[in-house]
């Protein structure tokens, strides 16, 4: 039987970041991922990092490429009634965000783990958790046809919404909260320069739109769409035409189009599992919560979980177990605040089916109030750049 102090289940950015931080604390952690590295890197995800996430990546010692290739943003635009209104994040909070793709961050973390020779098992199948509610947890898995078993002190469940870790907890011990939204996002990735040097969030009668980016030459665009929509119903030309229709005329005129590298539809949901600790099993990231992408909180919220869990485990191995006891409460306090912000942004910017004229007027009044109130803009900005850990 193998032995590790911590077994991390899930080799996405949250599991990799936790592993990197634990290694810097001298904690022996083995990481299990059921997919190949190529599959993990092929997942198209977030691209906006909060200031707190940027600081954590620097603490982990993997910030060189982010600091050289990432794009610091001091603000973004809210667009409605055909007009763009800039939210100056830096002026309002003294902080900013960093545009740096999740794929790039994941690659950086993979490279650092490989260079350090840290134990990682890709294509780990049939992962099972045992003894997590006692003092001697074990994780079993199959790799290359061979069954393996690892004894450990703790298990970190960083394996996503559909992973085995949360599913291993009896239903009576976990409370689930969920809201499913009646629309999705159609996303397109293309090697074209962004329409703006900062992000544009658009409220339009035809539906929400977002102009985002991954670099100065790669753009990511989103359109609100029906849950019944299918990617094959959207040609690239149809996507670009609809994006132009939702943008102000001046922005539409400067929109650079091109063939898509990737196109997909993602449903939107808000989801929280409580608590986030069960004996010696901890949940982090999408295993414990999902946010709609409107507020750019998904990866950032996973990073805050990782920060709390790293601090708790580091303190435990230095003789202080209080952090472990308080991990779930600390993490959930920040989770619910991020859930509130993402829910609010989603309610504010999207067209809801059958919402009626009153709800539409309330959205408009909220936006007008927001751009005219320094206090309201400050509240928006401090949530967007990230609440402190």
Active-site residue numbers? Answer: 73, 201, 293, 297, 384
Cα distance between residue 314 and residue 22, in whole Å: 7
CB atoms within 10 A of CB 162: 9
Question: 201 with 87: CB under 8 angstroms?
Answer: no
Cα distances from 288 to residues 33, 126, 274, in angstroms, run 18, 21, 8
Phi and psi torsions of 284, nearest 5°: -145, 150
- Which among 48, 381, 43 is positioned nearest to 211, based on CA atoms? 48
Phi and psi torsions of 209, nearest 5°: -145, 150
Cα distance between residue 351 and residue 225, in whole Å: 10
- Which among 388, 389, 381 is positioned nearest to 94, based on CA atoms? 381
- Residue corresponding to tokens 């603490």: 59
Cα distance between residue 73 and residue 346, in whole Å: 21
If you ran DSSP here, which 8-state letter would residue 383 be given?
H
Cα distances from 21 to residues 25, 33, 73, 232, 307, in angstroms, run 6, 18, 26, 42, 9
Cα distance between residue 227 and residue 107, in whole Å: 32
Q: What is the dihedral of CA 48, 50, 56, 58, to 10 degrees?
A: 60
Could you tell me if residue 117 is left (phi over 0), alpha (psi between -120 and 50 degrees) or otherwise beta?
left
- Residue corresponding to tokens 């940027």: 54
**Burial status of residue 16 (CB atoms within 10 A of its CB: 0-12, 13-18, 19 or more):** buried
Cα distance between residue 383 and residue 338, in whole Å: 8
């Amino acid at each position: 039987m193998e032995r590790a102090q911590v077994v991390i289940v899930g080799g996405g950015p949250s599991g990799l970041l936790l592993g990197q931080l634990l290694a810097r604390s001298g904690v022996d952690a083995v990481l299990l991922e059921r997919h190949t590295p190529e599959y993990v890197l092929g997942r198209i995800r977030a691209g906006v990092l909060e200031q707190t996430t940027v600081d954590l990546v620097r603490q982990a010692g993997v910030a060189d490429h982010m600091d050289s290739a990432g794009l610091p943003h001091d603000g973004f635009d809210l667009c409605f009634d055909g007009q763009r209104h800039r939210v100056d994040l830096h002026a309002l909070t003294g902080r900013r965000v960093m545009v740096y793709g999740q794929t790039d961050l994941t690659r950086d973390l993979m490279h650092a783990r490989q260079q350090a020779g840290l134990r990682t098992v890709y294509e780990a199948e049939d992962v099972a958790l045992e003894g997590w509610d006692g003092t001697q947890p074990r994780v079993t898995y199959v790799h290359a046809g061979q069954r393996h078993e690892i004894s450990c002190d703790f298990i970190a469940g960083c394996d996503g919404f559909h992973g085995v870790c949360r599913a291993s907890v009896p239903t009576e011990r976990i409370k689930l909260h969920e809201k499913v939204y009646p629309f999705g996002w159609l996303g397109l990735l293309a090697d074209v320069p962004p329409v703006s040097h900062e992000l544009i969030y658009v409220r339009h009668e035809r539906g929400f739109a977002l102009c985002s980016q991954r670099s100065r030459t790669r753009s990511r665009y989103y359109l609100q769409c029906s849950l019944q929509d299918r990617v094959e119903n959207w040609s690239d030309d149809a996507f670009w035409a609809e994006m132009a229709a939702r943008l102000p005329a001046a922005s539409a005129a400067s929109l650079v189009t091109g063939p898509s590298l990737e196109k997909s539809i993602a449903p939107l949901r808000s989801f929280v599992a409580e608590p986030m600790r069960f004996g010696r099993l901890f949940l982090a990231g999408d295993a414990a919560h999902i946010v709609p992408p409107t507020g750019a909180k998904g990866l950032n919220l996973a990073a805050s979980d990782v920060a709390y869990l790293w601090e708790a485990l580091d303190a435990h191995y230095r003789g202080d177990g209080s952090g472990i006891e308080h991990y779930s409460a600390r993490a959930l306090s920040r989770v619910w605040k991020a859930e509130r912000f993402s829910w609010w942004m989603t309610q504010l910017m999207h067209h809801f089916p059958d919402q009626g004229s009153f709800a539409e007027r309330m959205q408009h009044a909220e936006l007008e109030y927001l751009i005219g109130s320094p206090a309201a803009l400050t509240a928006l900005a401090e949530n967007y750049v990230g609440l402190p850990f």
